[in-house]
A = this chain, B = another copy of it.
Amino acid sequence: MPGRSRRSTAEISGEPTAAPVRRTQQERTAQAGQALLDAAEILFSQRGVDQTSLADVGQLAGYSRGLANHHFGTKAALVDALAERIQSRFVADIDFTTIEQSDADMVEILADLVQDYLEAIVRYADTSRAFFVMWGAAIPSEAALGPIFAADDARFRHGAETLLRAGRTNGTVAPDIDPAAAAVAVIGMVRGIAAQYLIAPDAFDLPAATHACRTFVKRTLTAP
């Protein structure tokens, strides 16, 4: 999920948006759609996907029991739409083409991204939890969500791998590092830390773990 850059200011309210003045049909529809996704996000984060009914979503959004189904057609479509929205909101806005030609310290950049990600988990706890709930629901081998989250994981790994490859080229990443394998490990580390945190937020010191995570990235990957 996250990976959003530090200066991002996007807002995720977390509260069902009260419907203000309405204009065109299109706007009404778009507004309803967002309110429904906001509601789904909260409910998924609290109860999980399967324990949330479409009627609950519609009502928390301030609409009728039937609207969620009317708007999305099926529950699967709602889940897809929410996954899509979270992913697009949190996709790192990194210009990889620029990076590939840069002389910057790629390890430092990666360490910052990792830190951003883990800090975003706390800041956008509902959204993050909803994301991880869906990520977990994607694990069963026959899960419909599987391909969607597999693609998301792949995109993330690819981003990290690109950074590492650029770092090997410009000499800031240790040459004996396998970029693809290290990307799996780094993405795994942040996802695994986030999941532990979301299951039991008070069980450990997240800032300390975030710092440890930085240390892992920097000590292991920096060119000697």
Contacts and interface: CB of A to CB of B under 8 A. Distances in A.
A158 to B, nearest CB: 10
Given A140-B129, A150-B200, A215 B209 contact: no
Interface string A158-193: 000000000000000000011011101101111111
A180 B208 contact: yes
A220 interface: yes
Given A50-B50, A178-B212, A187-B196, A137 B140 contact: no
Given A181-B211, A181-B212, A192-B195, A154 B200 contact: yes
Contact of A135 (B50, B136, B141, B189): B136
Interface of A: 44-51, 129, 132-133, 135-143, 146, 149-150, 153-154, 157, 177-178, 180-182, 184-185, 187-196, 198-200, 203-205, 208-209, 211-213, 215-216, 219-220
Given A139-B198, A178-B208, A185-B213, 12 more contacts: A47-B143, A48-B137, A49-B50, A129-B140, A133-B136, A136-B136, A184-B212, A185-B216, A187-B196, A188-B194, A191-B192, A195-B195
